Structure 1
Amino acid sequence: MRLPRVEELVPPSAVEFEVGWRDAGGEHRLPLSRASEVEFEAGLPVRAFPSYRGQRHFPGLHWAATTGGHVGFESWLERDHVMLLDFAPEVTGLLSQPFWLFWEDERGKRVSHAPDYFARFEDGRGLVVDCRPLDRIDVRSAVKFEATRAACMNAGWGYRVVGEVDAVRMTNVRWLAGYRHPRHGVAQGMVERLLALFSVPSPLVGQASLAGDPIAVLPMAFHLLWQGRLGADLSRPLSDTTLVSRVEWR
């Protein structure tokens, strides 16, 4: 399905975006052109997730190693994508429902949209993410997504509309997420030993066993895989024989 582009629906010269966000100081609203330097990742969600009897979605909270706090999700698809953003070592900040975007459509009707996530990268770049199964994007959503894309381009941010994730990769990331907490990487001497042992690609369990009891050592290896200090091919199921190697730490 091709998403209608915003220029097909609204004359580009007529699109003026405003952004509204929340932080500890209250609610704020500015033209988007004046808000490009706002640290949206350090703010508060602009809307809460509804919870009601019989709802079809599954809202919840993901504890993010990136921020040391909880990031909300409104569906399992959003849960997967917030986990992937948390898993990306280059992401340094992350917030769900980060702001409201406001604009007028071609009829002069006020339109608003709250994207699902805002991520900040270590080089200062921003990324806005909307999550939706690609076969469930209706015309109304497509228009909002394309307007959001145009707004992000104006602000100098990246923008993605993301759908279902490869099942094998997501299964691996969920497993590694169980070892994302810093408590799994506190034994610095063991961390350095594991990094040295995997200086060349080696089978996960066999090589980790050289550092000690696998029951004690493997959680640290999984933590290093989560951090990106060890790497593996996550397009295939993790197993005892998965080849793991050290990744040069920035």
Structure 2
Amino acid sequence: MAVPAGVDHAGPCVELSYVDAVHGLRRCPLRDCVTGRFEDVAPVRTFRWSRGERHFPGWYWAATTGRHVGFESWLERDRLLLMDFDPSVVGIGSQPFWLHWHDGERERRHAPDYFVRHADGSAVVVDVRADGRIEPRDAEAFEVTRLLCAQAGWRFERLGAPDAVLLANVRWLSRYRHPRCLHDLVAARLREVFAIPRPLMVGADTAGDRLSTLPVLFHLLWIQEMTAADMTAELLGPRTIVHVAGGVGR
């Protein structure tokens, strides 16, 4: 969608407001904020639920950051789960800031859903909205946000519903995302067993009592030290082929 002619997305009127831990809400020109660590700031909007509302806000404990990250819908939660599973992601902040611009008639503002930092230092600003729920006003806000992010050197993504099979697999593994699921001796044994690809349950039983090996195995799959068959093709199960990540026989 084209940006309305009145929007000066590169002009001095473009500003960003965020919550500063010391000074509270601050508002600055966008050009002065390009090095900000917005993956670490508090949300600019609160996550609250009221009777009768159709959205489902909440807090998700992210293994990536070791702290809770907010979401405002189940779809946002699902996308947050997949970002937490992504090994290239090192930081996630929800509702990180307001972007302010003028559309030629009045000031507009938009708070993206997430600010994501990758291990290479790059940043991605994310909005989550199902394909069938994007109104013209939303599409305009997303396009302006994309242009403003480009000015700041950030990438912008609008994400919809994820692959259902992948999501189901990652949701299962997320139950074992906490570091407490890692037992060093059991993990070492599992790495030996799965140096050769074999079915998930066969390997878990070979490594020891499945009650103690399975939680560790699922944690290793979560942190991707172990690799399963294409997780977008089928659900994890007893016969899923698993091996140490990075090649066979390593």
Counterpart residue identity of residue 18, structure 2: W
* Aligned-residue offset at 1:84: 0.6
Per-residue deviation, 1:164: 0.9
The 8 Å contact of residues 17 and 97 in structure 2, kept in 1 or not, is answered as yes
Call closer, same or farther: CA 1:15–1:133 in 2, change over 3 Å.
Answer: farther
Residue identity (%)? 47
The offset of 1:51, in angstroms, is 2.0
SS at match of 1:6: coil
Q: Partner residue of 1:21?
A: 18
Return the match for 1:75 from 73, 76, 79. 73
- Corresponding residue number in structure 1 for 2:87: 89
Shift of 1:12: 5.5
Counterpart selection for 1:54 from 41, 52, 55? 52
SS in 1 for 2:39: helix
Alpha-carbon shift at residue 165 of structure 1 (Å): 1.3
* Paired amino acid for 2:49: S
Displacement of 1:8 after TM fit?
A: 6.2
Aligned to 1:162: 159
Shift of residue 206, structure 1, vs aligned partner: 0.5
Letter matched to residue 170 of structure 1: L
CA distance in 2, matches of 1:15, 1:150: 14
* 1:17 counterpart letter in structure 2: V
Instruction: Give the structure-2-normalised TM-score.
Output: 0.92
Counterpart-to-counterpart distance in 2, 1:247 and 1:154: 38
Q: Which runs of 5+ in 2 are unaligned?
A: none
Question: Alpha-carbon deviations, 1:173-226, whole Å to 9, x = none?
Answer: 1100100011001x2122122123222322111112111011110110100111
Moved more, 14-23 or 65-74: 14-23
Contact 2:226-2:243 within 8 A present in 1 as well: yes
State the distance in 2 between where 1:247 and 1:55 align.
44
Instruction: State the distance in 2 between where 1:13 and 1:158 align.
Output: 16
Runs of 4+ in structure 1 displaced over 3 angstroms? Answer: 7-16
Residue-pair matches, total? 244
Matched, 1:218 2:214: yes
After alignment, is 89-98 or 20-29 more displaced? 20-29
Structure with bigger helix share is: 1
- The alignment status of 1:129 with 2:121, answered yes or no, reads no
The TM-score with structure 1 as length reference comes to 0.92
